[in-house]
């Protein structure tokens, strides 16, 4: 009996030692799994030594063997998986570029292994804890050893909450992120604004800027990264690379003007060229750059969801410069009011209206709410500003009436500007836009709009200009200058409105009336000024030998002296007068020549010899016929204009009869 018990005890001891040897093998396997596994390897031998000094009855030892076997089985399976994880390390730390699909497959196996470890490490530790608990309950082992064993198991349980792969998964995911960035960077090429794009070609929609194979790789990488809660990092990388590419495309356009502030320019005219560029550049950005980014975002992120790819596109658009475009438009609306600003606001509205469908499609999603709000605000500012300036034009023309007329009898800048300006408003380029703006503006006030309101208002503005002209005609103290001014302005209105949209509205009778006024004032002007000059060359009393040659010479001298005095005075005064229309100027000068020169020529031919022999002949025969004619033909020419600046002149009420300065609007209207 005693021999049988010893035999059983030996078998139990042998079984226990075998189990412990397996535990040692587990430790060796863990050593190859990395720093974390090294901890497990170091602790398992101590567990083995902790259970060696076992002293118990045979029945208790038999039960212990069963518990050990059940614990070692799961632990051995865990070790095999640790070995598999270690085997994946070389592949996952290599460059994924050569075989992205293979790399993703290996990464998937790693994650499956880590899920197994996460599920089973705890189970293996639990089985070992059960052994300790059994040994403790049945007093199979010494309490000191059991305490040490519990401590080691506690450390193992705490270790399992850390990285079971020694950081391998995180390193692999970072490599995927790097590859994601590299694929984007290598395939993101700035798009130049070619000559074709600046013209009709701009209407085309740009294709996706990345090859299909690259998009597929990006999608595959995204899928694995998103499965590991790295969507935000992917979006961040994507936005950074693609927005940088769009900015590079726009950089060649020299968009520094978008940053200009209201304080940096005096009026809209000083940035008129920038506004024209703004429309072309915005269209290029929307139809070519942002359209391409919109499509690419959809291609890359479509499997993830609408909000994700729309949010990604919104960030790209904002960072790439769409907000700067909108801010520039707002800056223009905040500039000083003047009529030129109305045209520029209409240009801005036309550009935005042309891109309305594109804006709604590209920026209509929830993530683009900031762009939507800025766009709506800009459109409202443009419409309000344009409507306000238009409806105030009539008042501004009236406000110019008390100003004195030009001292040189020229056509006031207000007259020439407003006639040209109203023609532009009625032209095919601006009338449809202005009509649309006024319709929208009145609809906001729940007021209806008919096209006749626009036409009527423009006709009222022209009538106000007419009234200004009539007032200024009467304002001159010099009646001859008054006639000269009237002739100038009536001809300007007739000539510059004939054959125009505005001329058609005013009608032929209106145009003929102004032409008749021109003829009337021209006749009076010549009669009362140059027409009186030949009267000073009277032939009365100059019949030779009636009173003697000396008497005739004295009369000729006297009359030539008076002629010269009147001519010099009239010429000096009128040489500063201006007749801007070449046809009217040449015709008027010819009429003056016809009125003066033939009489002067005949007089000098007949009586010139009487004074030419005199020592002081140059005092009386002051001008040759040719010189006199040349002087008269050179009258009323406009002064040379400097061309040093490409900017249009700034019109202001500070200048007599200038274009109205609408900065006075508020006080003037009140």
48: in domain: yes
Residue 542, in any domain of the structure: yes
- Please say if the pLDDT value at position 222 is more than 60: yes
pLDDT over 70 at 160, yes or no: no
Residue 432, pLDDT > 90, answer yes
How does the average pLDDT of the chain come out, rounded? 79
> Residue 46: inside a domain, yes or no?
yes
Decide: 132 and 146 in contact? Cβ < 8 Å: yes
What are the pLDDT digits (tens) for 585-643?
999 999 999 999 999 999 999 888 887 776 666 788 889 999 999 999 999 999 875 43
pLDDT, tens digit (0-9, with 9 covering 90-100), for 575-601: 999 999 999 999 999 999 999 999 999
Specify whether 41 is located in the same domain as 89: no
DSSP classification of residue 106: H
pLDDT band at 388 (very low <50, low <70, confident <90, very high): very high
Residues 491-494: contacts with CB under 8 Å, at least 24 apart? 491/515, 491/518, 491/581, 491/584, 492/411, 492/415, 492/416, 492/419, 492/580, 492/581, 493/415, 493/419, 493/466, 493/469, 494/518
Question: Does a structural domain hold residue 513?
Answer: no
Q: What is the pLDDT of residue 151?
A: 72
Distance separating alpha carbons of residues 274 and 54, to the nearest angstrom: 93
Q: Are 181 and 270 in a shared domain?
A: yes
pLDDT at residue number 500 = 94
Which pLDDT score, from 0 to 100, does residue 655 have? 32
Same domain for 364 and 285 = yes
Q: What is the pLDDT of residue 174?
A: 82
Give a yes or no: residue 523 inside a domain: no
At 321, list the tokens. 């410069």
66 domain residue, yes or no = yes
Query: Phi, psi at residue 500, to the nearest 5°?
Result: -110, 170
Q: If we measure between CA atoms, which residue out of 349, 353, 354, 338 comes closest to residue 382?
A: 349
Q: Which helix (H) or strand (E) holds 522?
A: helix 508-528
What pLDDT, on a 0 to 100 scale, did the predictor assign at position 663?
Answer: 41
Give every CB contact of residue 198 below 8 A, 6+ residues apart in sequence.
Answer: 280, 284
pLDDT at 129: 64
Residue 44 and residue 63 in one domain: no
349 and 292 both lie in a single domain: yes
What's the structural domain count of the chain? 4
Give residue 75's domain range: 58-166
Q: How confident is the model at residue 6 (pLDDT cuts 50, 70, 90)?
A: very low
Most confident of 203-217, 302-316, 407-421, 599-613: 407-421
Instruction: Determine which of 54-63, 454-463, 500-509, 655-664 has the lowest per-residue pLDDT on average.
Output: 655-664
CATH at residue 585: 1.20.1280.170
What are the pLDDT digits (tens) for 262-273?
A: 888 777 888 888
Q: Do 265 and 300 reside in the same domain of the chain? A: yes
Judge if 62 and 49 occupy the same domain.
Answer: no
SS3 24: helix
**Which of 9-13, 543-547, 578-582, 666-670 has the lowest average pLDDT?**
666-670
User: Are 160 and 188 contained in the same domain?
Assistant: no
- Has residue 10 got a pLDDT over 50? no
At 656 the pLDDT is 38
Domain endpoint, select from 362, 384, 399: 399
In the chain, the percentage of residues whose pLDDT exceeds 90 is 49
Per-residue confidence (pLDDT) for residue 251, from 0 to 100: 86
Question: In 3D, which of 426, 264, 397 has the Cα closest to residue 336?
Answer: 264
Cα distance between residue 80 and residue 142, in whole Å? 32
* Residue 359 or 639, more confident: 359
Instruction: Please give the pLDDT value at position 562.
Output: 94
What's 426-476 look like in SS3? HCCCCHHHHHHHHHHHHHHCCCCCCHHHHHHHHHHHHHHHHHHHHHHHHHC
239: phi then psi, degrees, rounded to nearest 5: -65, -40
399, 422, 456 - which closes a domain: 399
Do 35 and 62 fall into the same domain?
Answer: no
Same domain (yes/no): 41, 73: no
Condensed to tens digits (0 to 9), the pLDDT of residues 532-579 reads 999 999 887 676 545 567 777 888 889 999 999 999 999 999 999 999
The 10 Å Cβ neighbour count of residue 389 is 22
Is residue 416 included in any domain, yes or no?
Answer: no
Mean pLDDT of the 67-80 span: 59
Look at residues 366, 399, 432 and tell me which one is the last residue of a structural domain: 399
Q: So what's the pLDDT on residue 58? A: 59
Mean pLDDT for 16-45 is 50
Quote the percentage of the chain above a pLDDT of 70. Answer: 66
Residue 483 has a pLDDT of 98
With 50 as the cut, is the pLDDT of residue 666 above it? Answer: no
- Using CA atoms, how far apart are residues 520 and 512, in angstroms rounded to an integer? 12
Indicate whether 507 belongs to any domain: no
Tell whether 159 and 186 lie within a shared domain.
no
For residue 590, what pLDDT is reported?
97
CA distance 456 to 426: 12
Residue keyed to tokens 């018990």: 5
Q: Could you tell me if 38 and 154 lie in one domain?
A: no
CA distances to 242, 250, 317, 334, 475 from 314, rounded to whole Å, are: 12, 17, 5, 27, 62
- Asked whether the predicted pLDDT for residue 645 surpasses 70, the reply is no
Taking the whole predicted model, whether its pTM rises above 0.85 is answered as no
Q: Among 68-82, 375-389, 476-490, name the one with the lowest average pLDDT.
A: 68-82
Most confidently modeled range among 115-119, 140-144, 188-192, 631-635: 631-635
């Amino acid at each position: 009996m005693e021999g049988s018990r010893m035999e059983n005890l030996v078998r139990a001891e042998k079984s226990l030692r075998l189990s412990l040897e397996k535990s040692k093998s587990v430790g060796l396997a863990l050593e190859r799994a990395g720093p974390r596994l090294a901890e497990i390897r170091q602790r398992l031998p101590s567990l083995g030594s902790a259970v060696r000094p076992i002293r118990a009855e045979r029945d208790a030892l038999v039960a212990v063997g069963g518990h050990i076997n059940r614990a070692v089985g799961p632990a051995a399976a865990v070790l095999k998986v640790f070995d598999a994880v270690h085997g994946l390390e070389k592949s996952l730390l290599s460059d994924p570029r050569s075989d992205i699909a293979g790399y993703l497959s290996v990464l998937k196996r790693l994650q499956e292994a880590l899920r197994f470890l996460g599920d089973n490490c705890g189970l293996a530790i639990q089985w070992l804890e059960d052994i300790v608990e059994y040994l403790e309950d049945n007093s199979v082992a010494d309490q000191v050893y059991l305490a040490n064993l519990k401590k080691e198991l506690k450390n193992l349980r705490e270790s399992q909450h850390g990285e079971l792969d020694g950081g391998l998964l995180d390193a692999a995911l970072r490599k995927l992120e790097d590859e994601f960035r590299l694929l984007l960077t290598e395939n993101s090429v700035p798009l130049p604004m070619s000559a074709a794009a600046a013209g009709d070609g701009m209407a085309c929609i740009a294709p996706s800027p990345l090859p299909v194979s690259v998009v597929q790789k990006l999608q595959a990488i995204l899928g694995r990264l998103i499965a590991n809660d790295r969507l935000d990092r992917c979006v961040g990388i994507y936005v950074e690379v693609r927005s940088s590419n769009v900015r590079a495309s726009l950089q060649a356009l020299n968009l520094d003007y978008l940053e200009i502030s209201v304080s940096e320019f005096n009026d809209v005219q000083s940035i008129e060229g920038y506004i024209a560029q703004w429309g072309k550049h915005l269209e290029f950005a929307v139809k070519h750059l942002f359209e391409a980014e919109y499509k690419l975002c959809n291609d890359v992120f479509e499997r993830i969801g609408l909000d994700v790819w729309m949010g990604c596109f919104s960030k790209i658009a904002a960072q790439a410069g769409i907000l700067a475009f909108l801010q520039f438009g707002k800056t223009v609306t905040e500039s000083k009011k003047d009529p030129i600003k109305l045209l520029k606001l209409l240009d801005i509205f036309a550009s935005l209206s042309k891109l309305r469908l594109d804006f709604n499609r590209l920026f209509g999603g929830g993530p683009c709410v900031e762009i939507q709000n800025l766009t709506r605000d800009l459109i409202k500012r443009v419409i309000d500003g344009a409507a306000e300036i238009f409806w105030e034009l009539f008042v501004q023309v009236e406000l110019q009436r008390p100003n004195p007329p030009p001292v040189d009898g020229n056509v006031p800048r207000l007259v020439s500007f407003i006639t040209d300006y109203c023609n532009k408003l009625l032209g095919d380029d601006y009338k449809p836009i202005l009509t649309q703006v006024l319709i929208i503006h009145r609809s906001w006030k729940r007021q209806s709009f008919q096209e006749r309101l626009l036409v009527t208002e423009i006709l009222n503005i022209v009538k106000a200009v007419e009234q200004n002209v009539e007032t200024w005609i009467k304002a001159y103290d010099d009646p001859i200058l008054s006639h000269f001014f009237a002739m100038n302005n009536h001809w300007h209105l007739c000539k510059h409105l004939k054959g125009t949209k505005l001329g058609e509205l005013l009608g032929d009778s209106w145009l003929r009336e102004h032409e008749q006024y021109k003829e009337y004032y021209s006749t009076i002007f010549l009669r009362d000024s140059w027409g009186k000059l030949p009267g000073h060359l009277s032939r009365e009393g100059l019949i030779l030998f009636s009173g003697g040659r000396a008497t005739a010479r004295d009369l000729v001298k006297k009359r030539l002296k008076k002629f010269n005095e009147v001519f010099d005075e009239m010429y000096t005064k009128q040489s500063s007068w201006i007749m801007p229309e070449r046809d009217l100027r040449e015709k008027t000068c010819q009429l003056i020549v016809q009125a003066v020169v033939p009489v002067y020529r005949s007089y000098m031919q007949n009586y010139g010899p009487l004074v030419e022999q005199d020592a002081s002949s140059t005092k009386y025969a002051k001008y040759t016929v040719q010189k006199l004619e040349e002087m008269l033909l050179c009258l009323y020419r406009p002064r040379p204009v400097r061309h040093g600046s490409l900017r249009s002149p700034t019109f202001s009420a500070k200048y007599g009869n200038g274009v109205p300065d609408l900065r006075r609007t508020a006080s003037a209207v009140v």
